[in-house]
Amino acid sequence: MAARKPTIDLLSREDLSQRPVGRLLLWILTVGRYIVIFSELVVISGFIIRVILDRNLNSINEDLLRQKAILASYLPTEQRVRRAAQQFATISRIEQEQQDLGKLLEKIGQVSPKDLRFSNLSLDPRTMEISAVALSPSGFSTFLGNLQADPGIGDLILQSVESGTAQDPGIHFRLTVEFVGAPSLLQTQPPPTEEEQL
C-alpha cells in the first residue's frame, strides 16, 4: 500500500466568527468601514463648502469692485463739495474779520481824543501797533488811560515818544497794544476741519 501523503488544510473547519480573533477582525472591518465612510463624507462636505465659499468670495469681490467704481465716480463731486466748503469757511472768516475790524476801528475812535491823529495802524490777532501824533499831552494821556481801562487789552508797550518840531507840533509816539488772550473784537473762529465741514 502506498504511503498516504500528508495534507495541509489552512482553512479552519471551525467558524471564524466564533473565535476571538475572528470577532476582533469582524469588529475592525465594521468600524473601519464606518470610519472610511465618515472620512469620505467629511472630504465631500469640505469640497462642497469650499465651492460655496469660493462662489461667495467671488460675489463679494465683484460687489466690492462695483462699489469702488461707484465711489470713484463720486470722487470729483466730493472734491468740489469739500473745496466749496473750504471756500465758504474762508469767506465766512474774512467777513467776520472785516466786521470785527470795523468794530475795533469804531472802538478806537471812541477811546481816542479829538486831538489825536493816526499815521499808521497795523493789526494781527494778538497785537495792534499804533503810530500817532497827539497834539497835547492831555490827549496823549487820555488815549493811554482809555486803552488801559479796556478789559480786552492786556499790556501797552510804548515803543517811542518824541516831541514834535515847529513845523509838526505834538507828541509823536509808537505804541504796541497786546490783547488779553485773543482780542475780544478780533476774535475769529479757526477754519472748520474736514469732519466739521461734512
Q: What is the mean pLDDT of residues 2-29?
A: 76
List Cβ neighbours of 179 (8 Å cut-off, separation of 6 or more).
125, 126, 127, 128, 152, 153, 154, 186
Residue for grid cell 472591518 = 29
* pTM for this prediction: 0.47
Question: Does 184 have pLDDT greater than 60?
Answer: no
| 152 confidence band (pLDDT: 50, 70, 90) | confident
The pLDDT of residue 6: 78
Q: What is the mean pLDDT of residues 190-195?
A: 46
Q: What is the mean pLDDT of residues 3-12?
A: 72
The pLDDT of residue 12: 61
Bridge partners for 155 per DSSP: 178
Among candidate residues 119, 87, 123, the one with its CA nearest the CA of residue 103 = 123
| 96 confidence band (pLDDT: 50, 70, 90) | confident
Q: What is the mean pLDDT of residues 29-33?
A: 93
Question: Does 187 have pLDDT greater than 60?
Answer: no
The pLDDT of residue 23: 83
Residue 50's alpha-carbon distances to 5, 40, 46, 57, in angstroms, are 65, 15, 6, 10
pLDDT over 90, % of the chain: 34
Question: Does 8 have pLDDT greater than 70?
Answer: yes
Cα angle 121-122-127, degrees, rounded to a multiple of 5: 115
Select the CATH number that applies to the domain covering 113-188 from these four: 3.40.630.30, 3.40.640.10, 3.40.1360.10, 3.30.1360.100. 3.30.1360.100
Q: What is the mean pLDDT of residues 148-164?
A: 86
Count other C-beta atoms under 10 Å from residue 152's C-beta.
17
